[in-house]
Amino acid sequence: MPNDDEREARTATGDVHTAGDGGGPGSGGSGRRPAEAAAAPAGPRPGHTPAAGGATRVSVERGGPLLVEGPVEFVAEDGTRAYSDRFRVAVCTCRRSRTYPWCDTSHRAHERPARPHKEEQ
Amino acid sequence: MTTAAPPAPALPRARGELSACVLAALRDPELPVPDLREPIATAEPYGDDLQLALYVLYELHYRGFVDVPDDREWDVTLLALRGLMEERFLAALRQDVPGGRDVEEVFGELLTEPADTSGSVSHHLQRGGDLGELREYAAVRSLYHLKEADPHAWVLPRLHGRAKAAMAAVEYDEFGAGRADRVHARLFADLMADLALDPAYGHYLDRAPAQALAVVNLMSLFGLHRSLRGALVGHFAWVEVTSSPGSRRLAEAMRRAGAGPAAQHFYDEHVEADAVHEQVVRHEVIAGLLADEPALAPDVAFGADATTFVEDRLGAHLLSAWRSGRSALRPEPDEGGAR
């Protein structure tokens, strides 16, 4: 089905740790991990509406990734860290990404094939 | 590796009357240009001759050609010729592309993975493309990827506020986020070297079929006309929306065929980058532009649908050549070519 119910929202910083408030031109690292993660910025409290004064903006699309202002350090349950210094980072929420934790558009809907009861994979 | 400006490419070989006239005019500024209105009006709008003539005239706005003075870019005679050819090309597109579709409908389709992938080049290459096909694919795509994101930079002064900020951010990523060695065009040159192709800018112009020229000419057409800014944005969104899944298949194809690490990296990078870009382009560039200028919605839809049209023609050409065991490139008299 077409994603005609996409919506965008701004929320306060969620569970994604952001690595500092840098990200100016050329300031990023090339996929390497920072020596130590900077402390999460003091974002607005939950429920506080957005994004003044250096808060990290996170947007969501229904059925799609979380879009977080980069750079981002992602800490998985097992402590594994992934780092991205892109200006915006798409964090997978469907868990189908082959490049998890980053989105690879695997969440997208698949057209029904012409033959019934056979799903395109 | 140096970052100095590389040399401009040589002029290509003519493919008919129109391209011969343009090339002659570029070689000799004193040469009177004949009245080409009639031949342009009757030329095949997607054919080799008109598409090459248009490509060469557009190239004056990018890097130009060796031995052609830089200021020929604004030669009014050449601009008038270009205008006539653009009219022919654009009129054909307006006729061949379905009109009256809305933006959500167009992108809803593009965001759904199709069930029938028999016409998809990236599916074909993933399923069984050999190194020869991958090399031809890269040679054909080099016309765009060696100037990746350049045609889209022209839209920046025509956007405002949210759309401009988001478009500039995506372009910044395309241009390496401040690092020369991460510029996507540079990553593609590295891919070409991995595939033992010549990464020199414009090297494969003579080998490129008309269908490949039309893909790049479409971008230049939309990029160079403020009146087509909506179409440029729709086109750019098409590229970003379709890139990520296609790049995943091409990265797999490169791995399977034993292409080198740079060849794999180019497409791996585009899986991740364009999963971000497509979100930003849809939610901020398109939405921002249409909030400012709602009347441009049909142009956004047209830009995306016109891209589908020219890309489908290129895909059909590549697949029909490969499936019948032929090269998809134009022949080179001297040597065997990229295969």
Using the predicted structure, report yes or no on whether residue A12 has a pLDDT greater than 90: no
B236 in a structural domain: yes
What's the CA gap between B245 and B238, in Å, rounded? 12
B330 in a structural domain: no
Q: Are residues B125 and B261 in the same domain?
A: yes
Number of separate domains in chain B: 2
Q: Which tokens belong to A69?
A: 């202002």
B5 in a structural domain: no
| CATH code assigned at B160 | 1.20.910.10
Q: Are residues B81 and B170 in the same domain?
A: no
First to last CA, chain B: 27
Is-contact B135 B196, C-beta < 8 A?
yes
Q: Are residues B260 and B125 in the same domain?
A: yes
B3 in a structural domain: no
Site of tokens 């765009």: B144
pTM: 0.86
Partner B contacted by A121 (CB < 8 A): no
Would the CB atoms of B111 and A120 count as touching at under 8 Å? no
Q: Are residues B90 and B111 in the same domain?
A: no
Q: How far is B178 from chain A (nearest CA, A)?
A: 5
pLDDT for B99-117, tens place per residue? Answer: 889 999 999 999 999 999 9
Q: How far is A4 from chain B (nearest CA, A)?
A: 7
Q: Are residues B153 and B292 in the same domain?
A: yes
B54 in a structural domain: yes
Q: Are residues B86 and B108 in the same domain?
A: no
How many other CB atoms sit within 10 Å of the CB of residue A3? 19
Task: Walk along chain B (339 residues) in steps of 10 and give the mean pLDDT of each run.
Answer: 71 97 96 94 98 98 97 96 98 95 97 94 94 97 98 98 97 96 97 97 98 98 98 98 97 94 95 96 98 98 98 98 97 59
Using the predicted structure, report yes or no on whether residue A35 has a pLDDT greater than 90: no
Q: Are residues B50 and B170 in the same domain?
A: no
B259 in a structural domain: yes
Q: Cis link prior to A2 (omega < 30° from 0)?
A: no
Q: Are residues B138 and B219 in the same domain?
A: yes
Q: Are residues B163 and B67 in the same domain?
A: no
Is-contact B227 B295, C-beta < 8 A?
no
- Taking CA–CA distances from A86, the nearest residue in chain B reads B173
Using the predicted structure, report yes or no on whether residue A21 has a pLDDT greater than 90: no
Partner B contacted by A26 (CB < 8 A): yes
Partner B contacted by A71 (CB < 8 A): no
Q: Are residues B87 and B116 in the same domain?
A: no
Helices (H), ranges, chain B = 17-27, 37-42, 48-59, 76-96, 103-110, 121-128, 131-145, 150-153, 161-174, 184-194, 210-224, 229-256, 261-280, 287-292, 297-323
Query: Would you state the pLDDT for residue A113?
Result: 78
Q: Looking at the partner chain, which of A59, A104, A109 has a beta carbon nearest the beta carbon of B244?
A: A104
Q: Are residues B87 and B115 in the same domain?
A: no
Would you list the domain boundaries of chain A?
8-107
Query: Would you state the pLDDT for residue B227?
Result: 98
Q: Are residues B72 and B126 in the same domain?
A: no
Largest CA distance in chain B: 56
Partner B contacted by A64 (CB < 8 A): yes
B258 in a structural domain: yes
pLDDT for B36-58, tens place per residue? Answer: 999 999 999 999 999 999 999 99
**Which residues, 6 or more positions from B19, have their beta carbon under 8 angstroms from its beta carbon?**
B12, B48, B49, B50, B52, B53, B56
The whole domain housing B264 covers 103-323
